[in-house]
Structure 1
Amino acid sequence: MHLPPDDRTRSPHTGYTRAHWEAAADALLAAVEPYATEDRALYHFPGDRASWSGRLSDGLEGYARTLLLAAFRRDETALQRYADGLAAGVAGVWPRIEDRSQPLVEAASIALALRLTRPLLWDRLDDSVRQRAAAWLGDALTAEAWPCNWELFPVTVGGFLQEIGYEADESRKAIDRGLERIEEWYVGGGWYTDGDGRKYDYYNGWAMHLYPVLHAWLADDSRLLNVYGGRLEAHLADYARLFGGDGAPMHQGRSLTYRFATTAPLWLGALTGRTPLAPGETRRLASGALKYFLDRGAVDANGLLTLGWHGPDEAVLQGYSGPASPYWASKGFLGLLLPPDHEVWTAQETPGPAERSDAITPIAAPNWLIQATSSDGLVRLHNHGSEDVRYDPYYTRLAYSTVTEPSPAYDNSVIVGDDPSRTDIVPLGVGDGWVASRHSAGGGAQVTSVVLARGAVEVRAHLVAGAEPGTTVRVTGWAMGVPPRERIRAWGREGVRAELLPAIGLGAELTGVTGEGDTLFVALARLTAEADPVPLAETVTVEADGEGELTVRWSDGTEVRVRLDGSGVDVA
């Protein structure tokens, strides 16, 4: 991909300006054009993988998600191609929108693009095409959505159809129904769970906030914007901490192949004036993420986004991931709706949170502790509250970071007997430098865990109850259970290393056995890229009194007392 020269005056951290974003958008749009069908209604990208929705739906996905990019770019030449494809698509090429079907997802992208570019695309269509397109989109108003972020797709379609006067009552009902539905999943502090349970990840940013806030903004509805914009602003205060100093987003949750779609809520805050971030910080975080992926092979030799994280990577895919799925990354170009003279484009870049200072930040809603070190720009997420309805390593491990990925050998886990599962996670609180939870483990055991963090160092304590005496317990850290070459997938970050030392109840192999009653296991961990860190064993000492109480003494003399028992954790 050919980009303009870096501008290190305006953008001292990334070198990227609006011109880089425009060039990236233009290159991505040019690269997909050869893969359109002759009528331009479908985009079939190369590769032997298809989603579980099938080839026709995947082709629609290719159209819809790249149309969204053309809409943010406001590229009239490209939009004309998509206008031709729209006319063919609604004339019988596209599959109908049915209950819980993938076309419902893509209808939202199409409707949003049409709403954003109405004078450039919709208003120039023949009336017969507009009628057929409205009718095709109209099925989204009554289609049953999966009970998650999908509830917002009828909202997005309804917003456009209401604006053009099509089925106004049904459109309003779809909007009200979807917005009411997501209220059940708002847990406060700017955070939603993606449906029932405790599923916290990037769907907060690129779906749960994006669609309601954009709808309120486009409808010029100050009441809705106060509600959803206020939530977005609160969310961004936490969200900005999920990006490493190298631009990498936190490697956690599903649909990670959407890559720099993670920047969408950053731009959304600037677009609507609902952000706690300074303009230069917004651009630094967003440009950092775009640069991170473009520098690491996200785009292949044909200029196409691949199914993966950097390059192709099956580990981050789901059954619904098809060849066009990565183009939800188009949402990351939302910032191009801001005019060139907007301060978010003209301000000098300022450092993001991971670059400014060491910080240990509690996030109450998901029960997470964010641990960042400015010396190396690494960010770690200690997860004591998020899990999927099924076991998923991208939700249920104890920790994630911006430089590692969940390992097949169960990194960041407590393995009781032969069972590495972590289910039924119960948050037990998060505070100044600590976070705790309880979960079910192998053989009916319960594990109460607390992590204390300071700088790059972690004290990890686990109280195992309900296991048969003599049961083996193994504690793992940052991908330590795999061969050295694979130990840390640092993706270009030289010098990143992981450490894990036994402290209480564990032998040299980080393995111990349960006793007659509740048994305590404690380890010291560190993930760092610091060139010459103080030896881990010299950073902290941990003592146990035999009754579930720990005394943690940091090297500067600070002392913390922790009590673990079956009812919870107390930190003082």
Structure 2
Amino acid sequence: MPAAPHVQLPPTDRVLSPRTGWTRAHWEAVADRLLEGVAPYATPGLAQYRLPGRAGWSGVVSDGLEGYARTFLLAACRIAGAGGVGAVALIERYATGLASGTDRTSGESWPELTDCSQQMVEAASIAVALHETRPWIWDRLDTAVRERVVDWFSGFAGARTWDNNWRLFQVVSEQFLASVGAPYRKEDIEGGLDRIEDWYVGDGWYTDGDGRNFDYYAGWAMHLYPLLWARIAASTDGADGGRAEVYRERLAAFLAPYPHFFGADGAPVHQGRSLTYRFAAVAPLWTGALADCTPLAPGLTRRLASGAVRHFAERGVPDERGLLPLGWYGTFLPATQPYSGPASPYWASKGFLGLLLPADHPVWTARELPLPVEESDQYTALPAPGWLLHGTRHDGIVRLVNHGSDHNGPNGRGEDDPHYAKFAYSTATAPDSAPHAWTRNTDGHLALLAAPDGTPSRRRRIHPLVCETRRASSWHQADVPGCEAPFRVTTASLPHGPWEFRVHHVQAPSGPLPQGVSVREGGYAVAHELPPQARTGPGWALARTADGLTSAVIGLHGWEEGDTGVSRQVEANAYGPHSATPCLTTSFHAPGCYVSLIALSRDTVHPEALRASASVEAADGTVVIRLVDGTVLRWEAAE
């Protein structure tokens, strides 16, 4: 694989960085390429960057502001990290844009800050960027420009934001106003910081608003902004009411298991919304170093961060234009949100916060350390979000078993989402998320199918039960057309190396059931440029990509009289245009107990041998699985 097809990188340093070869110079090269790539799309006054791609729902001017604000954050990391040396062009470029964007007569002025407007998001990036570049930009602005900037930011005072991570945009922006001696509302700052306390669930984890919305926003928003606020507050009067120390302790707790989310190839687990921000996933790593609260060794911090950015660079990100398209690798709109505009991916700029650390900081000078998954097989339980991670050293894949994050509202009635509702995610796969595939909802799901059209049930509100080192479980209600009441599906996951033994107890509602209800279990969707190979046999199904990634589902109990198959999709998956999911289907008989072996591996998988290697005893709600290596896995439905 080429080092980076669309970025000219310096030579690798395998002494300092034996795992990635990357140094600070590589980060600077990528940052420079990204900033160079957007330059041709600037408006004449440099206040907006109108990038190509699907427009966001806030309009072209808002999209242009987004292009300025998010790339300004990247430029700020580059300017401040260099101490302004060699950054004259960047300084002038973004100072000019600031003057034009706040000038109502310029013809490219930014929209005013109003309740719940997209401008609030972008203002926070500008506030952080102005704070970090203060000696080179803010302190040198004309008085009239400063007054216009303050006037624009003042739209935050007393304004209403969405009740989630948006509260923190107001906090950071008004603290910036305080830092430059401008009027602000202290109650806005205190209120926003008080509100996030309602979303803290322990062990370093926040939800993004009410409900069980666990994803990367915990790191790149809920931890990031409070500590950036503390940096600005420290420059104002040094008083933070003791909050900063609390935030530092929470981030330390969050970061301790965070390395387990990354595969040996640098890929983060593909779960949650806004995945088009890509390497923003490393932002909390740099934040921990900036706030001097990380429990991770400096060499591990850089290994994680460099590995993630290198992972995307090797796969053509940025693209041949130097741009970050809406998607994961190339353009893939199902991995975005309806509000995402062409500059939205530049929240990835948060992944460059490490450039704010001086070149002689240990994160840049320490020798790289291996990731956990590069040293041994790993099992990591995260009870707060209800996740269980298991990674395998031999292929470097990390898998996330999901028994806690569902992205429904607090009442559980929201729309389910393929990036939250699946039983499992990984660093090597993505769910089939295009609308035509999501309707079928095959991969990573146990569906009850109603005759005659086979409409699949959904997994909406997830109710966590157990989350321990080698097992996790939850239950959910499954609505089936023709039934007045929902089914109850209780599921346990018991990982063992690259395999997950998955146990489902399906309880039917009282009363008559419609004819022809069946049960379908889908494994991981694997995707590639070429159509994956498909194989099926008695009680098993398998899909294998051209580069050797194999997904298999093997029925161990309850599937004896069922059918097997491989469901194929086109243009449905972020990892490639051709995707395939192995699945099992059988008739439902109450009460239902179904045990499957779910495999995802870069090894050759032999389904017949795996099926013969595990024996299952299921009776009275207790399931015991005995493996030929002597391992015994046990689960009781009453747990």
* TM-score, L = length of structure 2: 0.85
The one of 150, 161, 171 equivalent to 1:145 is: 161
Distance 2:254 2:69 in 1: 28
Hey, what does 1:136 align to over in structure 2?
152
Hey, what does 2:518 align to over in structure 1?
472
Distance 1:230 1:461 in 2: 37
Distance 1:555 1:265 in 2: 42
Hey, what does 2:494 align to over in structure 1?
452
Amino acid at match of 1:95: P
Hey, what does 2:299 align to over in structure 1?
280
Distance 1:481 1:286 in 2: 25
Q: Provide the alpha-carbon RMSD of the alignment.
A: 2.1
Closer, same or farther: CA 480–206 of 1 in aligned 2, 3 Å:
closer
Higher helix share: 1
Closer, same or farther: CA 312–484 of 1 in aligned 2, 3 Å:
closer
Hey, what does 1:502 align to over in structure 2?
555
Preserved CA contact (<8 Å) 1:480 1:487: no
Distance 1:192 1:554 in 2: 38
Preserved CA contact (<8 Å) 2:557 2:593: yes
Distance 1:437 1:201 in 2: 18
Hey, what does 2:599 align to over in structure 1?
526
1:559 deviates by 2.0
Hey, what does 1:426 align to over in structure 2?
463
Hey, what does 2:402 align to over in structure 1?
383
The one of 211, 216, 219 equivalent to 1:202 is: 216
Gaps of 5+ in 2: 1-6, 80-86, 409-414, 450-454, 481-485, 535-542, 565-583
Deviations 1:55-103 (A, max 9, x none): 0000000000000001011134212111111111111211001111100
* TM-score, L = length of structure 1: 0.94
Amino acid at match of 2:162: W
The one of 89, 95, 106 equivalent to 1:83 is: 95
Pairing 1:315-334 to 2, within 5 Å after superposition: 315-334=334-353
Q: Tell me the secondary structure at the aligned position of residue 396 of structure 1.
A: coil
Closer, same or farther: CA 360–551 of 1 in aligned 2, 3 Å:
same
Preserved CA contact (<8 Å) 1:372 1:456: yes
Hey, what does 2:428 align to over in structure 1?
403
Preserved CA contact (<8 Å) 2:530 2:545: no
1:177 deviates by 1.1
Distance 2:32 2:338 in 1: 30
Distance 2:426 2:527 in 1: 17
Q: Tell me the secondary structure at the aligned position of residue 219 of structure 1.
A: helix
Does residue 461 in structure 1 map to residue 503 in structure 2? Answer: yes
Deviations 1:141-179 (A, max 9, x none): 3221111111100011012111111114x1x22211111
Gaps of 5+ in 1: none
Closer, same or farther: CA 195–365 of 1 in aligned 2, 3 Å:
same
Preserved CA contact (<8 Å) 2:425 2:431: yes
Hey, what does 1:50 align to over in structure 2?
55
Q: Tell me the secondary structure at the aligned position of residue 133 of structure 1.
A: helix
Preserved CA contact (<8 Å) 1:456 1:526: yes
Q: Which moves more between the two structures, 304-313 or 73-82?
A: 73-82
Preserved CA contact (<8 Å) 2:526 2:532: no
Does residue 61 in structure 1 map to residue 66 in structure 2? Answer: yes
Amino acid at match of 2:170: P
Hey, what does 1:190 align to over in structure 2?
204
Distance 1:356 1:158 in 2: 45
1:42 deviates by 0.7
Hey, what does 1:442 align to over in structure 2?
479
Closer, same or farther: CA 492–338 of 1 in aligned 2, 3 Å:
farther
Preserved CA contact (<8 Å) 2:491 2:503: yes
Preserved CA contact (<8 Å) 1:541 1:554: yes
Does residue 336 in structure 1 map to residue 336 in structure 2? Answer: no
Distance 2:613 2:397 in 1: 18
Pairs aligned (count): 560
Amino acid at match of 1:370: L
Hey, what does 2:121 align to over in structure 1?
105
Amino acid at match of 1:396: A
Hey, what does 2:616 align to over in structure 1?
542
Amino acid at match of 1:88: S
Preserved CA contact (<8 Å) 1:403 1:491: no
Hey, what does 2:312 align to over in structure 1?
293
Amino acid at match of 1:132: R
1:493 deviates by 8.8
Closer, same or farther: CA 533–466 of 1 in aligned 2, 3 Å:
closer
1:525 deviates by 1.2
1:127 deviates by 0.7
Amino acid at match of 2:103: A
Q: Tell me the secondary structure at the aligned position of residue 48 of structure 2.
A: coil
1:531 deviates by 5.1
Does residue 181 in structure 1 map to residue 195 in structure 2? Answer: yes
Closer, same or farther: CA 63–473 of 1 in aligned 2, 3 Å:
same
Amino acid at match of 1:51: G
1:539 deviates by 4.7
Deviations 1:436-463 (A, max 9, x none): 0001113211100001011111111111
The one of 24, 36, 40 equivalent to 2:30 is: 24
Distance 2:313 2:303 in 1: 15
Distance 2:188 2:329 in 1: 37
Preserved CA contact (<8 Å) 1:393 1:406: yes
Amino acid at match of 2:469: D
Closer, same or farther: CA 531–499 of 1 in aligned 2, 3 Å:
closer
